Structure 1
Amino acid sequence: MTGFAESAAKGVFWTYLTFLGTKGISLVSLIVLARLLGPETFGMMAICMVVIAYFEIVARFGLGAALVSAQEHQAEMETAVALMSLVTSAAMVLLAWIAAPYLAGVFQEPSLTWPLRVIALALMIDAIAVVPVTRLSKRLQFRLKAVPDLARSLVKAAASILLAIMGFGLWSLVWGHVVGTLAAAVAAFLVAPWRPTVRPRAEVVGEAFRFGRHLLLAEVINAAQRNLDALLVGKLLGTTALGLYSLAFRLPDLLIRSFNQVAGTVLHPVISSRGAAKEAMAELYLSSLRHVALITFPAGAALSVASEPIVHLLYTPEWYGMIVPMGYLSISLALLTVDFVPGIIYKAMNRTEFLLWTSILKLPIFVVTLVLVAPYGIAAIAASQIGLSLIYFLPNWLILRRIIGVGLWQTLTALVPAILLAASVAAAGLALNQLQLRSDLLQVLVLGLGFALVFLPGIMLAVPEVRGTLRRRLKR
């Protein structure tokens, strides 16, 4: 397991460093844009992105994951994935253009018709670069993969801010998204040139299709869970409330959900490349869960405790309504780690039907809960996500117990270090909040220092490999 841990840790480090860079750029631009545009404009953009997310899932068709998991006929699989991506993306762009006026009408925002159509163009751009980007992940070349990711963030931020200053309003966000996607595609081909070399056989295309169909259905259902809260806020509470809710989600998304996504991006090819037998999967799962939760649980606790001074520091008073929802969302996204890691194992074992089954089981619970709490406002919607995050793990536990023999007690034992570290971070933050410093900047700096003084010794105590790595680096 040492080789697995080292490969995974190295990949996670570089990929999360890239995420911090790209999301850091996005966060800075977001703060600037929030001061230029206001909650209503962000609410309208959030509607566009939620709607396009469904078209994006179908356009991708799980093909990137199929290419990562493929062990044979690599060149044929790459060509098959490229062709299928172009076909599905073109179909989704056409459908989005036709459906845009009807979708805009659902939210009583007819002005969103053309923004929806323009944003849909990014689906085709992404499809063109799917093979170069996926090849970088499969080969564990995460430093090179940072190039297109950073290009996307830099170009998107620069274009959006420039257009916002020029008075383009919503269109500054729309065109920023499109040109950022184009920059990422160009950069991907520059660092990982690729062209089709063979014609794929029908059975290879069928293999990609079979892998993708389960993942596609699971992703469509999961997207409903990820986006239904935003859809309900936009529909029932209006675009201003949705703008507040969408920005309340951004910082937790940067620090927590992005780390989960990074872990999935790295662990999937690492586990797949090792060809682990069924008996070894339990150890791989528990190790992955333990190490990922050691980051996400304390991050969720820290961000929840620090939400008020952070929002006061970064945003104007019109955004203060996002403070309480951001605290709840930070906790819920951290807890979603226990639901996220099993999906990595399913994909590594080529058992994507389990993703579909668990998604089907979770969806009705999610829908009923959200419909019941939505009338009580965005804080109630955010708070409900905490309980849902815990409920989501139950079907995964039943499946994991059957296919790799992992019991509930083993899972809870793996999470104990993360729970203790998160509790320590939260206690330190609550104590420091009692200081009531006059400067929000000083309050945030003091909280950050307190979190670091608790987290760093805790992570070195929980993960002996970190101590060994630091010792070797210091000797050098």
Structure 2
Amino acid sequence: MSHLKKKAASGVIWSSIDKSSTMLIQFVFGIILARLLLPEDYGLIGMITIFITISQALVESGFSRALIQKKDADQVDYSTTFFFNFLISLVIYGILYISAPLIADFYSEPLLIDLVKVVGLNVIISSAAIIQRTILIKKINFKKQAIVNILAGLVGALVGIGCALADFGVWALVLQYLSRNFATSVLFWILSDWRPSMIFSIPALKKLFEFGSKILASTLLYSAFQNIYLVVIGKVYKSEELGYYTRATLFKQIPATLVTTVMQNVTFPVLVNVIDDDTQVKKVMKRSIKLTAFLLFPMMTVLIVFAEPLVMVLLTEKWLPTVILLQILSIGVIFFPINAINSNFINAKGRSDLFLKLEIINNILTIIAIAVTYRFGINTIAIGYVFASFIGFFTYAYYSGKFIKYSGFVQLIDMLPYALVSGIVVSISYYLWRFIDDQTLYLAMGLITSAIGYIICAYVLKFKELDDIKEIIQSKLKKK
């Protein structure tokens, strides 16, 4: 394999280890926390999620993507960005602190005043290690990132469980979040060789901001409108119902985020390196989307088909209203990783203006979906999310079709075989073991049968993605 291909292969492996491990930690310990805490506790955190997410986006200011996109980024660029990010984090936290009473009044939840003030500290904590993370991504070096994220995830999980057992209630979730991010920043400083110099260049800042500002604007729009569901549900409905929605969102996001992050972190720097060759770009895009579909569809199909036994076994009966939400939302999230690949292509071309345009269009779709559905219950809101996601997919794929003749329709055709095989295999597994009364055993047998059946079908149908995964693993073993 070429040097670039070897780096991409290594990136896929370590990024996969990173995300699969952190997601596993989040999933396992999240189940324990959900059993110990109440849906209302998760609802309270859901109410302030949008404010924290937007604050973190403002702190980064799109500079991380700008530094990755700039091939000749140097110490001046890194140091300038570091000090700018830290200064902005202090300003943003001050705004959050002052706004806490207003946020609490909006939701009519007095407890949110203290929650916002404490959770907001993460804005400062996270800003300390943005550059270290960016440099590792730019180098397609995911090994150190995996170590940091796994260790920090364990720290946060253990703190959260300990606090939940001590009856801290919602504060167990807050302390889990803060301890994990604090450990992340500390570990990045320990494992990274980079240190800031006492340099601050206004010209360098302006140049980075030309690209980063558009990324910032699109990220702000994305963060705001992705979390606006939580705002609307938290405002219109009870915190308990918002808790059900956030649990369903977490379940469906685990496989989608895992696949998205792995493919996005690897494909973006690779696309940057081949962006001037349309043939190579289309090849990378096509293989990325097929591999994404190969990995994602069986996982999402399992969530849809086995939603009820999953919730009953893992979260207990008190979370049963989450089932229908999980099934609906899992359909919509299928397009999320594919959209990320298409947006990577646009950003790799340096067209952050088009990326911003797409974000605006898709946010308009989100507003329309919410406006039409919010009065009819959270299940209807979830259905609106699915429709908005489906239409949004074609807007993201539009420029892929325009620039490299790889339209949304062609992308759907490429994904179709994996969707059909997943649907057939998982459905057969669901009905095959229906005679088993024990829910835990039924779920275990269904998942095992689904996994084995899918792999066998992929082998018989000669899905090339099996060879891709095998090649990546073999290249890593040879390197070692």
What TM-score do you get using the length of structure 1 for normalisation? 0.93
What residue is the counterpart of 1:438 in the other structure? 437
State whether residues 57 and 220 of structure 1, in contact with CA within 8 Å, keep that contact through their aligned partners in structure 2: yes
Instruction: Provide the C-alpha distance between the structure 2 equivalents of 1:139 and 1:155, rounded to a whole number of angstroms.
Output: 27
What residue is the counterpart of 2:68 in the other structure? 68
Q: Say whether 1:260 aligns with 2:260.
A: yes
State whether residues 302 and 429 of structure 1, in contact with CA within 8 Å, keep that contact through their aligned partners in structure 2: no
Instruction: Provide the C-alpha distance between the structure 2 equivalents of 1:154 and 1:403, rounded to a whole number of angstroms.
Output: 44
Per-residue deviation, residues 302-328 of structure 1 (Å, max 9, x unmatched): 211111111110112111110111111
How far 1:393 sits from its partner (Å)?
Answer: 1.9
Residue identity opposite 1:30 in structure 2: G
Instruction: Provide the C-alpha distance between the structure 1 equivalents of 2:82 and 2:469, rounded to a whole number of angstroms.
Output: 40
Instruction: Provide the C-alpha distance between the structure 2 equivalents of 1:147 and 1:323, rounded to a whole number of angstroms.
Output: 34
What residue is the counterpart of 1:359 in the other structure? 359
Per-residue deviation, residues 353-376 of structure 1 (Å, max 9, x unmatched): 122101111222211212322232
Please say which of residues 222-231 and 400-409 is displaced more in the overlay. Answer: 400-409
Residue identity opposite 1:242 in structure 2: L
Q: Secondary structure at the match of 2:72?
A: coil
How far 1:257 sits from its partner (Å)?
Answer: 2.4
What residue is the counterpart of 2:463 in the other structure? 462
Distance 1:133 1:29, change over 3 A: same
Q: How many residues align?
A: 475
Q: Say whether 1:10 aligns with 2:10.
A: yes
Instruction: Provide the C-alpha distance between the structure 2 equivalents of 1:201 and 1:282, rounded to a whole number of angstroms.
Output: 38
State whether residues 79 and 200 of structure 2, in contact with CA within 8 Å, keep that contact through their aligned partners in structure 1: yes
Aligned pairs for 1:141-160 (under 5 A) are 141-160=141-160
How far 1:274 sits from its partner (Å)?
Answer: 4.6
Distance 1:89 1:469, change over 3 A: closer
Q: Say whether 1:248 aligns with 2:248.
A: yes
State whether residues 339 and 389 of structure 1, in contact with CA within 8 Å, keep that contact through their aligned partners in structure 2: no
How far 1:200 sits from its partner (Å)?
Answer: 5.2
Instruction: Provide the C-alpha distance between the structure 2 equivalents of 1:455 and 1:2, rounded to a whole number of angstroms.
Output: 31
Q: Secondary structure at the match of 2:320?
A: helix
State whether residues 339 and 397 of structure 2, in contact with CA within 8 Å, keep that contact through their aligned partners in structure 1: no
Residue identity opposite 1:223 in structure 2: S
What residue is the counterpart of 1:384 in the other structure? 384
Residue identity opposite 2:216 in structure 1: L
Instruction: Provide the C-alpha distance between the structure 2 equivalents of 1:125 and 1:393, rounded to a whole number of angstroms.
Output: 34
What residue is the counterpart of 1:337 in the other structure? 337
Please say which of residues 374-383 and 271-280 is displaced more in the overlay. Answer: 271-280
Q: Secondary structure at the match of 2:120?
A: helix
Distance 1:425 1:386, change over 3 A: farther
Please say which of residues 209-218 and 190-199 is displaced more in the overlay. Answer: 190-199
Distance 1:472 1:135, change over 3 A: closer
Instruction: Provide the C-alpha distance between the structure 2 equivalents of 1:462 and 1:146, rounded to a whole number of angstroms.
Output: 29
What residue is the counterpart of 1:123 in the other structure? 123
State whether residues 287 and 414 of structure 1, in contact with CA within 8 Å, keep that contact through their aligned partners in structure 2: no
What residue is the counterpart of 2:38 in the other structure? 38
How far 1:3 sits from its partner (Å)?
Answer: 6.6
Per-residue deviation, residues 326-365 of structure 1 (Å, max 9, x unmatched): 1112221113233221111122222111221011112222
Instruction: Provide the C-alpha distance between the structure 2 equivalents of 1:474 and 1:21, rounded to a whole number of angstroms.
Output: 20
Q: Secondary structure at the match of 1:437?
A: coil
Q: Say whether 1:448 aligns with 2:447.
A: yes
How far 1:454 sits from its partner (Å)?
Answer: 2.4
Residue identity opposite 2:25 in structure 1: I
Instruction: Provide the C-alpha distance between the structure 2 equivalents of 1:13 and 1:311, rounded to a whole number of angstroms.
Output: 30
Per-residue deviation, residues 221-253 of structure 1 (Å, max 9, x unmatched): 112331111111111111000111101111221
State whether residues 346 and 399 of structure 2, in contact with CA within 8 Å, keep that contact through their aligned partners in structure 1: no
State whether residues 298 and 423 of structure 1, in contact with CA within 8 Å, keep that contact through their aligned partners in structure 2: yes
Aligned pairs for 1:292-441 (under 5 A) are 292-432=292-432, 435-441=434-440
Distance 1:88 1:258, change over 3 A: farther
How far 1:103 sits from its partner (Å)?
Answer: 1.1
Distance 1:89 1:425, change over 3 A: farther
Aligned pairs for 1:43-54 (under 5 A) are 43-54=43-54
What TM-score do you get using the length of structure 2 for normalisation? 0.92
Q: Say whether 1:215 aligns with 2:218.
A: no
Instruction: Provide the C-alpha distance between the structure 2 equivalents of 1:469 and 1:82, rounded to a whole number of angstroms.
Output: 34
Residue identity opposite 2:468 in structure 1: E
State whether residues 13 and 473 of structure 2, in contact with CA within 8 Å, keep that contact through their aligned partners in structure 1: no
What residue is the counterpart of 1:288 in the other structure? 288
State whether residues 298 and 454 of structure 2, in contact with CA within 8 Å, keep that contact through their aligned partners in structure 1: yes
Could you tell me which runs of 5 or more consecutive residues in structure 1 were left unpaired when the two chains were aligned.
Answer: none
Q: Secondary structure at the match of 1:298?
A: helix
How far 1:160 sits from its partner (Å)?
Answer: 1.3
Instruction: Provide the C-alpha distance between the structure 2 equivalents of 1:128 and 1:363, rounded to a whole number of angstroms.
Output: 30
Distance 1:213 1:452, change over 3 A: same
Q: Secondary structure at the match of 2:334?
A: helix
Residue identity opposite 1:462 in structure 2: F
Residue identity opposite 1:465 in structure 2: D
State whether residues 288 and 341 of structure 1, in contact with CA within 8 Å, keep that contact through their aligned partners in structure 2: yes
How far 1:397 sits from its partner (Å)?
Answer: 2.9
Aligned pairs for 1:86-165 (under 5 A) are 86-165=86-165
Distance 1:474 1:355, change over 3 A: closer
Residue identity opposite 1:437 in structure 2: I
Q: Secondary structure at the match of 1:110?
A: coil
How far 1:205 sits from its partner (Å)?
Answer: 1.4
